[in-house]
Structure 1
């Protein structure tokens, strides 16, 4: 059985080559990960089928397991992303109307001034990740949900705590997060995403609504790594930059190609087998975890012609960077629009990379820790 060692520095430095080799070796490979080895699917069509297979279910580590959270806040910690089956489907259906492609396009006019304000405040040599890509999604989702200006600093801080993975700090932050969400719900806005959710409240309990609100806000940071990766990639490709500057209508397709080529997620959240399953000739025993190697499926030559070539005109809508099936990223349309707006604004600036982007040594994600740039006057 072909095995990928996720602690191997060569795999961390170039996961796309490592996963391409794995895909060539077979449809199912073994990932060696300290603490939880797992199976991985490497081919696009197999992955799509797996992500809709009811024999595999998400069993993500629950927020409810975080130590130090007072009992009164425990009911608010079971999020939709940790559910499967009827509970997940019901909440997903209630939330989905607020996250359609049309609603995302309608919100474009609210994103543009947020981007413009961030860019206007940049120094001549900023860290684009720190100064634009990271704050933008949180500011946008706060605007979308209706978080008051005075409270947004708290949400930015809470988002940073969750992103840090510091369990102790997260336990300490949970009461503030839940109380903040309760306050937003109590304000009962008439328009926007939260108004849509409140209109569905007759089918959603108060606890479910508060939980959904805080989870939406803190999960809304997703585009940060995509925007940073996109800039790090595009600004090394003068011909592609020139093409996008000449024809901004190419941006929606370019965002999908960027997700295919350098999307931040290398692996999906693992699913666990509910029973023994024969998966393309490999017996996965009940309880064993299985993931999709997105870095392999998004360069599958059976689906993408000339997959190792970046092409802003490709049209890569079938890429799996946002997942597939019941757990397809709820905020995908908003993430796409945010990325389009940010790239459109940056294309209009005299911007160059200032040195080599610094990448995190993370086998599960393809993300930067620094993105130094220089801005012309």
Structure 2
């Protein structure tokens, strides 16, 4: 094996163009060493097959340390499904799985279309050439609205969750620090309200789950489920924004998609593969010394998969940097929703959400264009998220 590249996660080049940085590392070595100030070093797998193998290897575990934020102790107190493994994770995932099937996602489509239509009506007033922030005024409100409706948050609380979601996406600063305890309070109130009023949505379903065998979620579990699902549900906001940016930069593929909407499912998969909002997976911990990608990961060391690199691995994807909506879906499957037991619970819904949002947006505004200037990104090495997406309608 050639020398293992070391990558400083605070390097501006990593934050501004992770695809190039990790792409070079991938061609140099299947393993890289990531350095993050305050958290030390972490192993990273840069190639598809190795990343996929690690994500299903039980010798690598998720635990409460997989998302370490010493500056925010509240996060350590709120263990969520992403940070669990083994029987505990399997139980919680089983209880949550029914509302997130592909069938349920398809049934949710009319509700998604109504929400998009309402938001597009609000954007129509800006169709005079003045720039509008598509992230702040369309994709983020859409994603948070859908997540809140799915979970069973009452409409009068949507704005609160939208504010929290925007602050958490940044990942630092005073607004972020205030949002974390605010989320815990809002989730606690949502659970209490649902118990009191037996409202609709996932919360109502979970409150009655498996009552006969007494395998019900505790209030603490319900609270963490609420805050995790609502905040994780903002992922499509950034996938939609990233997708619009990419489409407007690729006029040939955009014209192709406008002319044939049957390409939309393939477009969503391809845009997720190439420009999904997650760059790195949450770290796993080696339960023992494990050999992978030609080297030994010592017991207790952290390791992650570099999705931004694995999803563009030329060993697996032909001409991987080409945007091609006609790739055969699932052959091979990208890792944009991760893989294995931690495969994204909301993947089916995210796919439908993104397709509905893009289809209706492109149909409603045929002159949609970027407003000019570089798209600024949230300085977070784990995600590929814009701070805003200015467009003209």
**TM-score scaled to structure 2, two decimals?**
0.88
The residue that corresponds to 2:191 in the other structure is 181
1:267 aligned counterpart, secondary structure = coil
Give me the CA root mean square deviation.
2.2
2:114 aligned counterpart, secondary structure = helix
Do structure 1's residue 245 and structure 2's residue 258 form an aligned pair? yes
Q: Which whole-Å CA distance do the structure 2 matches of 1:299 and 1:270 have between them?
A: 20
Q: Which whole-Å CA distance do the structure 1 matches of 2:343 and 2:379 have between them?
A: 26
Do structure 1's residue 37 and structure 2's residue 41 form an aligned pair? yes
- Count of aligned positions: 369
Q: Which whole-Å CA distance do the structure 1 matches of 2:74 and 2:259 have between them?
A: 54
The residue that corresponds to 1:51 in the other structure is 55
Q: Which whole-Å CA distance do the structure 1 matches of 2:274 and 2:311 have between them?
A: 7
| Distance apart, 1:127 and its partner CA | 0.6
Q: Which whole-Å CA distance do the structure 2 matches of 1:27 and 1:63 have between them?
A: 28
1:177 aligned counterpart, secondary structure = helix
Q: Which whole-Å CA distance do the structure 2 matches of 1:287 and 1:54 have between them?
A: 14
Deviations 1:66-100 (A, max 9, x none): 4479xxxx6xx222222111010011011111101
On the 8 A contact 1:64/1:78 being kept in 2, the answer is no
Do structure 1's residue 81 and structure 2's residue 98 form an aligned pair? no
Q: Which whole-Å CA distance do the structure 1 matches of 2:160 and 2:307 have between them?
A: 33
Give structure 1 regions of 4+ aligned residues with deviation exceeding 6 angstroms: 62-65
Higher deviation after alignment, 141-150 or 36-45:
141-150
Deviations 1:215-264 (A, max 9, x none): 22222111111011000000111211111111111111111100111111
The residue that corresponds to 2:341 in the other structure is 326
2:28 to 20, 25, 28: 25
Provide closer, same or farther for how the CA distance between residues 65 and 237 of structure 1 changes in structure 2, counting only shifts above 3 A. Answer: closer
Do structure 1's residue 200 and structure 2's residue 215 form an aligned pair? no
| Distance apart, 1:341 and its partner CA | 0.7
| Distance apart, 1:328 and its partner CA | 0.8
Gaps of 5+ in 1: none
2:303 to 281, 285, 290: 290
Do structure 1's residue 156 and structure 2's residue 159 form an aligned pair? no
1:313 aligned counterpart, secondary structure = coil
Provide closer, same or farther for how the CA distance between residues 108 and 169 of structure 1 changes in structure 2, counting only shifts above 3 A. Answer: closer
For residues 204-215 of structure 1, what are the structure 2 equivalents within 5 Å? 204-207=216-219, 208-215=221-228
Q: Which whole-Å CA distance do the structure 1 matches of 2:61 and 2:52 have between them?
A: 14
Provide closer, same or farther for how the CA distance between residues 289 and 184 of structure 1 changes in structure 2, counting only shifts above 3 A. Answer: same
On the 8 A contact 1:5/1:31 being kept in 2, the answer is yes
**TM-score scaled to structure 1, two decimals?**
0.91
Q: Which whole-Å CA distance do the structure 2 matches of 1:180 and 1:142 have between them?
A: 10
| Distance apart, 1:331 and its partner CA | 0.7
On the 8 A contact 2:240/2:357 being kept in 1, the answer is yes
The residue that corresponds to 2:15 in the other structure is 12
